[in-house]
Amino acid sequence: MSVTTSVWTPPPADEAELTDWLRAREPVTRAPGTGGWHVFGYTEVKEVLANHGAFSNAVVRPVPDDSPMRLYRTGNLTWMDPPRHRNLRGLVSQAFTPRWVSGLEPMVRETVGSFIDGLHGRDEVDFVREFASPVVATVIARMLGIPTKGQQLFQEWSRSLMTLADPSAEGNGLQKVLTLTQLAEAYLHRFIAQRRAAPTDDLTSKLIAAEIDGDRLGDDETAGLIALLMSTGQAATITLVNAMIVLGRHPDAVAELRARPELLDAAIDEVMRYRSETTRVERKTVRDVVIGGQLIPAGESVSVWIAAANRDPRVFEDPHVFDIERPHNPHIAFGHGIHYCLGAPLARLEIRIALRELLDSTLDFTIDPARTRLLDPRLMFGASEATVGFTWKEKQ
Return the percentage of the chain with pLDDT > 90, whole number.
57
Domains of the chain, CATH where assigned: 15-392 (1.10.630.10)
Spatial distance between the Cα atoms of 174 and 172, rounded to a whole number of angstroms? 6
The overall average pLDDT reported for the chain is 87
**Strand, coil or helix: what is 351?**
helix
Strand partners, 56: 284
Count other Cβ atoms within 10 Å, centred on residue 98: 11
State in Å, rounded, how far the first CA of the chain is from the last one: 67
pTM above 0.85, yes or no: yes
Q: What pLDDT sits at residue 85?
A: 64
Residues paired with 296 in a beta bridge: 289
258 pLDDT band, cuts 50/70/90, is very high
Rounded to an integer, what distance in angstroms lies between the CA atom of residue 178 and that of residue 257?
A: 41
Among 53, 144, 134, 127, smallest CA distance to 92 is for 144
Q: What whole-number distance in Å separates Cα of residue 226 and Cα of residue 185?
A: 10
Strand order in the sheet with 280-285: 28-30, 37-39, 301-305, 280-285, 55-56
CA–CA separation, 195 and 192 (whole Å): 5
Pick from 274, 326, 206, 221: nearest CA to 22: 274
pLDDT at 1 over 50: no
Q: Are 324 and 264 in contact (CB under 8 A)?
A: no
Mean pLDDT, to the nearest integer, of 41-51?
A: 96
DSSP 4: -
Residue 187, Cβ density class (10 Å: 0-12 exposed, 13-18 middle, ≥19 buried): middle
The 10s digit of each residue's pLDDT in 277-320 is: 999 999 999 999 999 999 999 999 999 999 999 999 999 999 99
Contacts for 380 with CB less than 8 Å, ≥ 6 apart: 165, 238, 277, 278, 279
Give tens-digit pLDDT for 68-85: 666 666 655 565 566 666
What is the spatial distance between Cα 312 and Cα 310, in angstroms, rounded to a whole number? Answer: 6
Higher-scoring residue by pLDDT: 182, 88: 182
* Confidence tier at 4 by pLDDT (50, 70, 90): very low
122 phi and psi, to 5 degrees?
-75, 135
Identify the pLDDT of residue 237: 93
**Rounded-to-integer distance, Cα 367 and Cα 137, Å:** 23
Say whether pLDDT at 179 is over 90.
no
**37-39 and 301-305 strand pairing:** parallel
Single-letter amino acid code for the residue at 376:
D
- Shortest CA distance to 186 belongs to which of 227, 133, 230? 227
pLDDT at 193 over 60: yes
Q: Side by side, which strands form the sheet with 362-374?
A: 124-126, 383-392, 362-374
For the ranges 165-169, 223-227, 308-312, which has the lowest average pLDDT? 165-169
* 316-370: pLDDT as tens digits: 999 999 999 999 999 999 999 877 788 888 999 999 999 999 999 999 999 999 9
Query: Is residue 301 helix, strand or coil?
Result: strand
In terms of residues, how long is the chain? 396
Higher pLDDT, 121 or 14: 121
Q: How far is CA 301 from each of CA 63, 217, 232, 255, 284, rounded to the nearest angstrom?
A: 17, 31, 23, 45, 5
